[in-house]
Structure 1
Amino acid sequence: MILRKTIPRTIKEKKFQYAGVIILLMLAVMLYVSLSMAITTLEERNVAFKQDYKQETFHWMSSQPLSGAEMSELEKKYDLTLEERSYQDINTDDTTTLRLFNKTEEVNIPYISEGEMPQQLGEVAIAKTFGDKNGISIGDTISIGGTEVMVTGYVFLPDYIYMIEQQTDLLSDPSQFGVGVTTSETLEAVKGTEQHQTLGWNTSNEVPDELRSEVNNRSTLLQFVGHDDNARIEFVESEIEGAGSLITTLPLIILALSLAMVLLLLKRRLELQRKEIGTLMALGYRKSELRRNYLGYAYVIGLTGTILGIIVGAALSLPLSDLYANYFNLPALSRFDFDPMVLVIGFIIPLVLLLILTTFVINRRLKTEPLTLLRPKEISSGKKSWFEKLPWFNKGGFIRRFRLRLLVRSKARSFYIFLGVMFSTVLLVFGLITFNSMDRLVETTYEDIQTYDYAVHYSSLQTDPTSGGGSPYTMAEVKVEGEKVSLYGVEPDTDFLKLISDGELLNERLNDGAVVSRPFAAIHGVKDGDSITLTNSFNDDEKKVEIAGVADVFIGSSLYLPHEEVNAFLSYPEDAYTSVWQDEKPTQTDNVFLIEDKQKVIDSFESTSGATRNSVIGMSVFAVLIGVIVLTLLTNLIVEENSPSISLFKVMGYHDKEVSKLVLSVYTPIVFVSYFISIPLASVVLEQSMNSLVQQTGFIFPTDVAWWMVVIGFVVIGLTYWMSLALSKRKLKNVSLEEALKKQQD
């Protein structure tokens, strides 16, 4: 039909506007497709690795390993597969630790991605990310614990998907910690303290209810960790779960913005061509023919945007999948897990929504009679809104009154500008809060609260007085409402742990009740004055305590009580302790189960801050891009709609700057009102998101907004708005003086 020839001509004339909405639609589809496919690939690899290589259901460490007969008895009784595994932590240099395991055959079976499994004395396989970060390749010879060994391959372990040294660590840093596999002979030859753990697996992937108590009765448990509580396993599960909301929420918001822009463009096109539509209808064109013609704009935008989004998203999913795999130390068991439904949804949903909404807009215009369309549009009655009736509204000069009237009578434009700025601001503030939270989390948790340098955990209860000025404490695992919690029995006057909340020291409150961490309070929904019941994990004894305060401990669901009170609850001797905080560097001995070096944790955070900064920069660029596109499209439409008024102002002698101030800059208050409203909104949304994931991740970010974030955000949003105005002013300058005369002729 001849009408279809107008579509490419119109798009060519308004190429900037149509290119903008196509880019918005492409970004929405691209984000959905790339994130969905990357997460699908991550999930498929995780499931395959877990099942094929028998990821542990649980593991424990006890003061004395169980005998073979006891292991066989437990296997039969609880239908389990149990296997002993030994390991050593070896310092390859002053800051780097390699955890070497002996090869297992039935649980946590190692996967060799490149090279070969170690077969004889002096051979090891290491994690690829650890090798890459430390410049170690297959075939290299390295020195570990005074023994020269050769690297024969790269290995992945099912229980070290998130490769962290301690369960309480937040970030994985392969440059400082890695894992490896070697032969039992090599492990024995290496100089160091060997640790032993028992791995358990069953087909139901559930920990038997009585198993923990029974093992503890046979040999005192030092550690019992189910897969649900294992951060090295659970963190990837939490990432997959948390990414689900991001996959849908962010693309849907951008999709909504792009649909709104398309509808505005189409509505404007129908308004400009009302007489042409009336003429065509009078000549005999059916409404269905006209509808198909104007739906052509939606088809061009929808097909171009979705197809480009799918292509770019699918291509982007490959490096994203590899990035996830490297971060989580997952082997590439499959290169690309293609999910056709992602492509179908990414193509069908945006296109269908676009066609439905544009059909609705077109039908509203086509309901008008041809004669009505041929007549000049009726002049508005000029009925004032309640806002315009306010006494101060009509005060001041013409410029002020014109700007206010234009602002009040352009509610839809103001609303879209408000939403566009809000979306950009929320993304920007998200990034800034995340960046600041990492620094504050380190400073508060590891410098202000945990003032010790080392934490020494023993393999059995200690009663001897500590030496070197250390502070003994008891640490145990208890249950609160069925959830496992780390219980600390501490001396209220200790100098090695300062439980603070907004600068207030809470240690003295330990005599009145329990002080809990921020994650504990978020998971259980408790605050000062509430009561909770502790359950001993071994004998089901219960103890009711009152919450005396919530400390700014952002990592781990933990609870603090006086040392003597905890020992009494656990039936330990009054002066017993399991661990010691101290400043002196401890020596690894046979009765030392674990040594925590706080400085290594801080260094890990600092070494990974570069990636955080890059993510913040990327999010900021994305926010600015969205803001520029949305604001420029809207300001362009404003210029187009007000071209007769702009032309008339020019005829009257107004300069371009004055006209711009009258027509374009009128929305400046909306931009900055939206910005300042969005700041607390972003903080609240991020806080709610963190609270919803804290049970899976075990940590929570502080979401306070600092003054420098407000300043940086203000500058970025201001520059974004200035860029959109600068682009639209070029269009304003091109409005000719004849536009006003043309309008009068119409």
Structure 2
Amino acid sequence: MALRKRLWRIIKENKGRYIGIVILILLGSFYFIAATGVANNLEKMVVGFAEEYRQEDLTFSTDIPIEDIAALEGESGTLIEAYRQYDVKLSGGELRLLSLSSKINIPAVLSGRGLENPGDILLDPYFCQKQGLNIGGQIELNGKTFNIVGTMAVPNYVFILKNLYDVLPTSGFGIGIVSGADIEAFPEAVTVYGARFKDRENLNAQTAKLHGLLSEKGYSLSEWLDAKNNKRVSMPWSNISSMKSMSFPVSTAFFLLSCLIVGVMIMRIVKSDGVVIGTLYAQGYRRRELTRHYMAIPVLLSAAGGLAGTLLALPCVRPVVDSMLIYYILPDKGITFSPLNLALAVLMPVAFIGLSSFLIIRKILKKPAVELMKGDEQKAKVNFIERALRLDRYSFNTKFQIREQVRSIPRLLFLVLGVSAASMVLLYGFTFNYSMDLVMNRGALERYNYAIEYNFKEVQNLQDRDIPEGAEPYNSFRAYPEGRETVEFYLLGMEPDSVGIKMNGIGGTELSRDQVNITYPLASRLKLKKGDTIHFVNKLDGKSYSLTIDGIIEAYGEQYVFMPLDEFNRMTGQPLGSYRTVLSNRELDFDESLLAGVMDARDPEAFEDLAMPTTLIVASVTALAVLIAVIIIFLVTSLMIDESRNTISLLKVLGYREKELAKLILNSSTPAVFIGFWLGLPFMLAFGNNLYGYVAEMINMVIPMIVNPLYVLISFVLIFAVYEITKRLCGRKLAKISMSEALKAGTE
């Protein structure tokens, strides 16, 4: 009972310190549950929808209808379904009608009911919202009236893009599902095929096999695009995979770091209580009782922090998931949490902190009571670092500040590593934001001198169609290096005098377009240099090719290989003059039925909405880093003041004023904070490069780790601003230490 009362007295006497520890544990558990909860729920929605409603692996069109789909399915091991589609122009928008599918791309009813009667139609919810339509109402399409019976989500239109190669949604465009009989009322409707492979492994080989079978049977193929490169399907999965692959290791690393920091803090607290432990031990308390007594503090703090962080994170997951899904149409499966993750968020800090505390307590309790009562655990000892520094050369203030740090190496390391951790998190947030801006602006957008890209459904030829001035033809296909199917890139053929795409070598030197050039991110990923040979496979038909690299293009994230257009066509066996893409510096009047998509990079602001999740992540990471820095610096400074109470009291007796004491005691940590910040930079680069390499393998997206000096300066100012504010807060505690404590220490 006496020990239990002492436990609460210890916590009450140092409540600010213990509150800081609880908050640090809370942050680790909160971020762990929030990050894993968001990632797991998004994955459940996207993957669950794709599997349950049989999302296509491939979409394509043929020049004539496929005669025997069942036979083709048997030969290729594929589910194939034909569906009809027709685009209807409306005032203020456009609606694409799709016939109801039964084998793949099965629509999921989100509200209302499914199709039951002739004239029924299901609409996507965003189109209903934009057009002011409601379930139970009607919509007239080319003179035919349909009854709106519900809203739906379709697996091959999770991200609603009008054309396969579009990047951003078309304003006012939506989709609707009608029965096969109803869509026959529109004779201009076209047939599109979706395919889903029964074998879920090695999809590239199966895609090439199906392409070969169709070509052998005499079908001319167009709009052939696999799901991985179909933005209607891949855009949400890429975003979610990126978030999951980044959030889990980041949250786990931060969580373990929090446990480590708190463990070190508890170690210092227990060591400082060595005299009390010795006294209690001498009074007859057994080792088991004392161990249980001192273990109660770290276990109680870690359990309280873990539980509080978990409970606070639970209601935060839904708003984040909703913000991530603002552009995607998916069935809402509700928010669930993994019982294992919930248990880990509470038990892991208890286990890590409890184990570290147990080892420290056990080590201390092994010593005899007499030795513990001498207070050797609290005494500052001259170590080899202090002897090596030869402090006699310096003034008293300088010697005092250096000794204040080097005589407590664990506390010094705790401060340095803690500030490094906060700096690493802060720098990572800024660097991630800056890197994504570079990938989008200097890569995806600034790469183009000609800002409008027209992609055709079928291969065109310069002999059949003249390209106007200010426009250029390109031909391309998707490829992957032999043996590395996860690394996909575009091989692109361009004319030797092309100017539509910027192409500079490393350092800005001009590169010839009449040679084979590779972008730096792809070359770095494949460990290629000028003069090396790249061996790759055409993802469409499975044919292998080899090219010798003549130049390396300075780029940010893009994965391309460029070569002359005529050589491209000869190599692939296409007629000279073949092309599939046109870049233009102005809008061109192409037949819309021939186009598979248009990308317009003239308005970079149109892409900003897609970066909203990135902005949210950076803002939260910045706030998190600042809070970590406040807590860590406050804990260390508070501990330093407690360990130096007698010295501070004695200095007051000797006539030192509060400002002089604050400068002498609190400013001694400045070099450690400075070193900790700059250690955070290489730590962040090492962590980021490893993480981005993992992300590249997961989703084939290369993110460069590019540090902006301005953001480094901002981070430096933020960390030191936090340091100065924290010093002022701790200065109040220093002022409360009375001169009588030195007299008490002398009496003892």
Which aligned pairs between 1:339-738 and structure 2 lie closer than 5 A?
A: 339-375=338-374, 377=376, 383=382, 385-386=384-385, 388-390=387-389, 393-458=391-456, 459-462=458-461, 463-469=463-469, 470-482=471-483, 483=485, 484-501=488-505, 504=508, 506-508=510-512, 510-516=513-519, 518=521, 520-537=522-539, 541-554=543-556, 557-589=559-591, 592-599=594-601, 602-738=604-740
* Contact 2:454–2:583, Cα closer than 8 Å, also in 1: yes
Moved more, 555-564 or 236-245: 236-245
What is the CA-CA distance between 1:632 and the residue it aligns to?
0.6
Which aligned pairs between 1:42-53 and structure 2 lie closer than 5 A?
A: 42-53=42-53
What does residue 260 of structure 1 align with? 261
Q: Quick one: distance in 2 between partners of 1:146 and 1:556?
A: 47
Q: Quick one: distance in 1 between partners of 2:450 and 2:382?
A: 72
What does residue 151 of structure 2 align with? 154
Moved more, 143-152 or 334-343: 143-152
- Counterpart pick for 2:72 among 71, 74, 91: 74
Per the alignment, in what secondary structure is the counterpart of residue 388 of structure 2?
coil
Q: Quick one: distance in 2 between partners of 1:48 and 1:615?
A: 25
What does residue 113 of structure 1 align with? 110
| CA RMSD, 1 decimal | 3.4
Aligned residue-pair number:
736
Letter of the 1:664 counterpart = L
In structure 2, relative to structure 1, the CA distance for the partners of 1:145 and 1:6 (3 Å cut) is farther
Q: Percent identity?
A: 24
Per the alignment, in what secondary structure is the counterpart of residue 22 of structure 1?
helix
Gaps of 5+ in 2: none
Q: Does 1:56 align with 2:56?
A: yes
Structure 1 residues 532-587: Cα deviation after superposition (integer angstroms, max 9, x where no partner): 12334566554321223343554654321110110000111222222221233233
Q: Quick one: distance in 1 between partners of 2:382 and 2:267?
A: 27
In structure 2, relative to structure 1, the CA distance for the partners of 1:496 and 1:737 (3 Å cut) is same
Which aligned pairs between 1:210-249 and structure 2 lie closer than 5 A?
A: 210-217=209-216, 218-234=218-234, 236-237=236-237, 239-240=240-241, 243-244=244-245, 246-249=247-250
* Contact 1:446–1:598, Cα closer than 8 Å, also in 2: no
* Contact 1:24–1:254, Cα closer than 8 Å, also in 2: no
What is the CA-CA distance between 1:521 and the residue it aligns to?
3.1
What is the CA-CA distance between 1:721 and the residue it aligns to?
1.3
What is the CA-CA distance between 1:81 and the residue it aligns to?
2.1
What TM-score does the superposition give when structure 2 sets the normalisation length?
A: 0.88
Q: Does 1:15 align with 2:32?
A: no
Q: Quick one: distance in 1 between partners of 2:380 and 2:477?
A: 77
Gaps of 5+ in 1: none
Moved more, 574-583 or 39-48: 39-48
Q: Quick one: distance in 1 between partners of 2:121 and 2:440?
A: 34
Q: Quick one: distance in 1 between partners of 2:118 and 2:505?
A: 53
Moved more, 474-483 or 285-294: 474-483
Q: Quick one: distance in 1 between partners of 2:51 and 2:132?
A: 32
In structure 2, relative to structure 1, the CA distance for the partners of 1:530 and 1:305 (3 Å cut) is same
Which aligned pairs between 1:87-98 and structure 2 lie closer than 5 A?
A: 87=85
Letter of the 1:477 counterpart = R
What does residue 197 of structure 1 align with? 192
Moved more, 544-553 or 415-424: 544-553
Per the alignment, in what secondary structure is the counterpart of residue 113 of structure 1?
strand
What does residue 287 of structure 1 align with? 287
Moved more, 50-59 or 563-572: 50-59
Q: Quick one: distance in 1 between partners of 2:295 and 2:600?
A: 63
Q: Quick one: distance in 1 between partners of 2:165 and 2:674?
A: 42
What is the CA-CA distance between 1:245 and the residue it aligns to?
5.7
What is the CA-CA distance between 1:642 and the residue it aligns to?
0.9
What is the CA-CA distance between 1:634 and the residue it aligns to?
0.9
Structure 1 residues 260-280: Cα deviation after superposition (integer angstroms, max 9, x where no partner): 3354345434523x3333332
In structure 2, relative to structure 1, the CA distance for the partners of 1:355 and 1:540 (3 Å cut) is closer
In structure 2, relative to structure 1, the CA distance for the partners of 1:661 and 1:362 (3 Å cut) is same
What is the CA-CA distance between 1:636 and the residue it aligns to?
0.5
* Contact 1:278–1:373, Cα closer than 8 Å, also in 2: yes
Q: Quick one: distance in 2 between partners of 1:89 and 1:430?
A: 45
Letter of the 2:430 counterpart = L
Q: Quick one: distance in 2 between partners of 1:255 and 1:539?
A: 47
Moved more, 196-205 or 180-189: 180-189
Letter of the 1:437 counterpart = S
What does residue 331 of structure 1 align with? 331
What is the CA-CA distance between 1:53 and the residue it aligns to?
1.0
What does residue 32 of structure 2 align with? 32
Q: Quick one: distance in 2 between partners of 1:90 and 1:553?
A: 41
What is the CA-CA distance between 1:176 and the residue it aligns to?
7.5
Q: Quick one: distance in 2 between partners of 1:468 and 1:276?
A: 89
Per the alignment, in what secondary structure is the counterpart of residue 530 of structure 2?
coil
Structure 1 residues 42-79: Cα deviation after superposition (integer angstroms, max 9, x where no partner): 333334322321111322234x143333x232122223
What is the CA-CA distance between 1:144 and the residue it aligns to?
8.1
Q: Quick one: distance in 2 between partners of 1:583 and 1:344?
A: 57
What is the CA-CA distance between 1:189 and the residue it aligns to?
7.5
